[in-house]
Chain A
Amino acid sequence: MEFLGKTTIDFVGKRNISFVISAVISIIGIIAIVQMSRGAANMGIDFTGGTSVQLKFDKPFALADARKALHAAGIEAELQEVKEGNKLLVKLPRKNALAVGKAAELVPAAFVKAQPGLQVTVDSTTEIGPSIGEKLRKDTIIAVAISMLGIICYIAWRFDFKFGVGAVVATLHDVLAMFAAYYVTGREFNLLFITAVLTIAGYSLTDTVVIFDRIRENLHKDLKGSLHKIFNNSINETLSRSIITSLTTFLAAISLFVWGGEVIHDFSFALLVGIGVATYSSVFVASPVVLLLEQRAMNKQDAGTGQPVKA
Chain B
Amino acid sequence: MPKGAGWRIALIAAFIVLSCIYLVPTLTPKLPDWWKGMLPKDKIHLGLDLQGGTHLVLEVETTKAVEGTLDLVATDLEDTLNSKNLRFKRISRTGSDKVAIVMYEKDTAAAVQKLVKEKYRDYEIIPTVEEGGMVGIALRMKEQDIQDRKDKAVAQALETIRNRIDQFGVSEPVIARQGVNQIVVQLPGIKDPQRAIALIGRTARLEFKMVKEGVSPTGGAVPEDSEVLFEKHTDPATGATSETPLVVYKKALITGDLLTDAQVRIDSQFNQPYVGIEFNSLGARLFDQVTAANVGKRFAIVLDSNVYSAPVIRERISGGSAQISGNFTEKTASDLAIVLRAGALPAPVKIIQNVTVGASLGKDSIDKGLMAGAIGVVLVIAFMAIYYKLSGMVANLGMVLNILYLMGAMSALGATLTLPGIAAIVLLVGMSVDSNVIIFERIREELRLGKSPKSALEAGYDKAFLTIMDSHVTALITAAVLFQFGTGPVKGFAVSLSLGIMINLFTSLMGTKVIFDLFLHKGNVKKMSI
Residues of A that sit less than 8 Å from B by CB: 1-2, 54, 56, 100-101, 104-105, 121-129, 131-132, 136, 139-140, 142-143, 146-147, 150-151, 154-155, 158, 191-192, 194-195, 198-199, 201-203, 205-206, 209-210, 213-214, 217, 237-238, 240-241, 244-245, 247-256, 258-261, 263-264, 267-268, 271
Assembly CA distance A140 to B355 (angstroms): 19
Q: Contact check: which of A105, A123, A209, A258 meets B467 at CB < 8 Å?
A: A209
Which 7 pairs, one residue from A and one from B, show the smallest C-beta to C-beta distance? A249-B430, A261-B368, A129-B352, A252-B430, A202-B478, A255-B376, A143-B485
A150 to B484, CA, bound (A): 13
- CB neighbours of B358 from chain A (8 A): 121-124
Q: Which residue of A lies closest to B482 (CB)?
A: A198
The smallest C-beta distance from A262 to any residue of chain B, in angstroms, reads 8
**Is B357 an interface position by the 8 A CB rule?**
yes
Complex CA distance for A192 and B365, rounded to whole angstroms: 15
Asked if B361 and A54 sit within 8 Å, CB to CB, the answer is: yes
With contact pairs A101-B198, A247-B383 given, residues A240 and B441 touching in the complex (Cβ less than 8 Å): yes
Kindly list chain A residues whose C-beta atoms are within 8 Å of the C-beta of B463.
217
Nearest B-chain residue to A158, judged by Cβ: B470
Nearest residue in B to A275 (C-beta to C-beta)? B430
Q: Which of B24-32, B76-84, B223-231, B432-440 is near enough to bind chain A?
A: B432-440
> Which of A129, A139, A263 interacts with B49 by CB under 8 Å?
A263
Contacts of B478 in A (CB 8 A): 147, 151, 198-199, 201-202, 205
B381 to chain A, nearest CB (A): 10
Q: Given A124-B358, A249-B434, are A199 and B198 also a contact pair (CB < 8 Å)?
A: no
**Docked-complex contact B490 and A191, CB < 8 angstroms:** yes
Q: Known pairs A202-B479, A237-B445. 17 more at Cβ < 8 A? A: A124-B357, A127-B354, A128-B352, A129-B350, A131-B352, A140-B485, A142-B485, A146-B485, A155-B474, A195-B489, A203-B475, A205-B475, A238-B441, A248-B437, A259-B368, A261-B367, A261-B368
Instruction: Report B168 CB to chain A, min CB distance, Å.
Output: 15
Q: Does the CB pair A199–B419 fall under 8 Å?
A: no
| B507 CB → nearest A CB, Å | 15
Q: In the complex, what distance in Å separates the CA atom of A195 from the CA atom of B492?
A: 11
A200 to chain B, nearest CB (A): 9
- A14 vs B352: C-alpha distance in the bound complex, in angstroms? 53
> Is there contact, CB below 8 Å, between B438 and A100?
no
Task: Tell me the nearest residue of chain A to B358, going by C-beta.
Answer: A123
Known: A104-B356, A194-B490, A263-B49. A251 touches B430 (CB 8 A): yes
Neighbour of A199 across the interface among B194, B201, B364, B427, CB < 8 A: B427
Max count, chain A CB within 10 A of own CB: residue among B351, B388, B481, B489: B481
Q: Tell me the dominant secondary structure on chain B's binding face.
A: helix
Contact check, B474 vs A124: say whether CB atoms are below 8 A apart.
no
Given contacts A140-B485, A255-B372, A263-B419, contact A150 B477 (CB under 8 A): yes
Q: Is the CB of A101 within 8 A of B194?
A: yes
Please state if A121 and B372 are interface contacts (CB–CB under 8 Å).
no
What residues of B have a CB within 8 angstroms of the CB of A206 in the complex? 431, 434, 471-472, 474-475
CA distance A105 to B193 in the complex (A): 10
In whole angstroms, how far apart are the Cα atoms of A155 and B355 in the complex?
39
B372 touches A249 (CB 8 A): no
Bound: A255/B369 CA distance, A: 10
Chain A contacts for B429, CB-based, 8 A: 248, 252
On whether the beta carbons of B438 and A253 are closer than 8 Å, the reply is no
A207 to B, closest residue via Cβ: B471
A132 to B353, Cβ gap below 8 A?
yes
Instruction: Among A195, A214, A258, A259, point to the contact of B482 (Cβ < 8 A).
Output: A195
Taking a contact as CB atoms under 8 Å apart, the answer to whether A124 and B445 are in contact is: no
In the complex, A63 Cα to B199 Cα: how many Å? Answer: 34
- Over the window 357-378 of chain B, the binary record of Cβ atoms lying under 8 Å from chain A Cβ atoms (1 yes, 0 no) is 1101100110111011101110
Closest chain A CB from B448 CB (angstroms): 8
Residues of B within 8 A of A146 (CB): 481, 485
State whether B375 touches A100 (Cβ < 8 A). Answer: no
CB distance from B175 to the nearest CB of A (A): 17
Q: In the bound complex, how far is the Cα of B486 from the Cα of A250, in angstroms?
A: 25
The answer to whether B197 has its CB under 8 Å from any CB of chain A is: yes
Q: In the complex, A264 Cα to B420 Cα: how many Å?
A: 7
